[in-house]
């Protein structure tokens, strides 16, 4: 008998005592193992789905609330504030100067938010440090002009109905990447119902494939 066999024999002999009386318990042990499996599986799956996002993202409040619906009503359309420069580049989130085209040191309305805006930013001549839900990583080049002006897309396709909202949701920042949760999408599985639910590369490629017949090349966006 080899040493290993000896050891195995010894090993089985050691547990044999327990096993002899436990032949019937063996099945129960398995049953308990299955229960433990299911409990652990469900527990980990639910934590990965429900708890993990809470840990992954930190919630941040915007400096003050902004009523898009009100502003669209007053100013006209998205481009009134989110405009294009002469060279075709996109201004993105308006600078204080753009706000001051309509606003001044005298508040236009009566909301607390405007009071904060006037006192902390207009009078202090400070830019509002908005958190940007749609900010893409620095390695991504994106031209708004190519999409909205050349291809004629509307803002809603990617940004959803933010123009109709009356308040800003909290900004959820990914603790690892530093980018907004809106890029991956609210659904942690990455499942989307609308085109504006996610802003990942696959979503760009999906639309490009549909509209142009090709997903596009790396260097089109990653310069």
Partner 1 sequence: MKVDRRSFLGLGLGAVAGVAVSPIGMKLTDDSSIWTQNWPWTPVPVDGEVTYENSVCSLCPGSCGLSVRKIDDRPVKIEGLAEHPVNDGGACLHGIAGLQYLYDPARVKTPLKKNGDKFEEISWDDAIALVAGKLADLRKKGSPEKLACIADKEQGSVSGLFQRLLKTFGSPNFYTMPSLESYLEVTATALHGEGMTIGFDLENSDFVLSFGSGIIEGWGSPVNCFKANASRKARHAKLYQIESRLSNTAANADKWIPVKPGTEADLALGMCAVILKNNLFDGGATANFIGGFNKLAIMIQKEYAPSKTAEITGVKASDIEKIATLFAKAKMPVAVFGKGRGDGAQSLKELAAVHTLNCLVGNINKKGGAFVQLKSDYLEFPDESMDTIADAGFAKNKTGRYVNQLVEKVNESSKPVVEALFVYNANPCYSLHDSKSVKQAIGKIPFVVSFSSFLDETAKEADIVLPSHTFLERLEDVPSCAGLAKSVVGLTKPVIEPVFDTKHAGDAVILIAKALEGSIAESFEWETYDECLESVAAGIWDSLSEDGYAIISEGVPFGSVAVNVSFLADNPATVQARGDYELTLIPIDNMRLINAGIAASPFAIKTVSDKVLKGSDIVVEINPLTAKGLKDRGYATLTTPTDTARVMINLNEGMMPGVIGMVEGLGHTFDNKYVSNKGINVNDLIGPVIESGSGLDAAFGIKVKISKA
Binding site for partner 1 (CB under 8 A): 25, 28-49, 52, 56, 85, 87, 89, 91-92, 95, 137-139, 174, 176-179, 184, 188-190
> What is the nearest approach in angstroms of partner 1 to the Cβ of residue 30?
6
Which helix or strand (DSSP H or E) is residue 29 part of?
Answer: helix 25-46
Instruction: Give the burial class of 63: count Cβ atoms within 10 A of its Cβ; 0-12 exposed, 13-18 middle, 19 or more buried.
Output: middle
Closest CB to partner 1 among residues 34, 102: 34
Instruction: Pick between residue 45 and residue 59 the one whose CB is nearest to partner 1.
Output: 45
Helix or strand (DSSP H, E) at 210: helix 201-212
Beta carbon nearer to partner 1, 48 or 73 = 48
105: part of which helix (H) or strand (E)?
none
Nearer of residues 76 and 190 to partner 1, judged by Cβ: 190
| 1 versus 176: smaller Cβ distance to partner 1 | 176
Q: How far apart are CA 109 and CA 107, in angstroms?
A: 6
Q: Which of 136, 131, 134 is nearest to 159 (CA)?
A: 134
CB of residue 200 to partner 1, shortest distance in Å: 8
Q: How far is the CB of 54 from partner 1 (least distance, A)?
A: 12
Nearer residue to partner 1 within complex by CB, 185 or 207 = 185
In the complex, what is the shortest distance from the CB of residue 107 to partner 1, in angstroms, rounded to a whole number?
Answer: 27
Q: How far apart are CA 195 and CA 186, in angstroms?
A: 13
CB 190 → partner 1: shortest distance, Å? 7
Contact 165, 73 (CB under 8 A): no
- 65-71-72 Cα angle (round to 5): 130
Smallest separation, CB 77 to partner 1 (Å): 21
What's the N-to-C CA distance of the chain in angstroms?
A: 68
User: Would you call 181 helix, strand, or coil by DSSP?
Assistant: helix
Selection from 197, 83, 203 nearest residue 148 by Cα: 83
Tokens 């993990």 correspond to 52
């Amino acid at each position: 008998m080899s040493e290993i066999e000896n050891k195995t024999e010894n090993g089985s002999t050691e547990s044999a005592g327990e096993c002899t009386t436990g032949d019937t318990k063996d099945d129960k042990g398995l049953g308990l193992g299955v229960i433990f499996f299911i409990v652990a599986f469900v527990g980990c799956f639910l934590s990965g789905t429900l708890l993990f996002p809470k840990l992954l993202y930190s919630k941040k409040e915007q400096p003050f609330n902004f009523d898009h619906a009100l502003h669209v009503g007053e100013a006209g359309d998205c481009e009134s504030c989110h405009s294009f420069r002469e060279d075709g580049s996109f201004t993105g989130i308006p600078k204080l100067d753009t706000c001051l085209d309509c606003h001044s040191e005298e508040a236009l309305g009566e909301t607390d938010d405007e009071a904060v805006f006037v006192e902390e930013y207009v009078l202090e001549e400070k830019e509002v440090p908005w958190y940007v839900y749609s900010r893409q990583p620095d390695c991504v080049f994106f031209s708004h002009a190519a999409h909205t002006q050349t291809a004629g897309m509307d803002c809603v396709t990617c940004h959803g109905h933010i123009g109709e909202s009356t308040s800003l949701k909290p900004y959820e920042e990914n603790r690892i990447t530093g980018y907004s949760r809106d890029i991956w999408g609210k659904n942690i599985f990455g499942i989307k119902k609308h085109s504006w639910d996610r802003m990942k590369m696959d979503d760009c490629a999906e639309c490009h494939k549909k509209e142009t017949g090709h997903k596009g090349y790396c260097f089109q966006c990653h310069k």
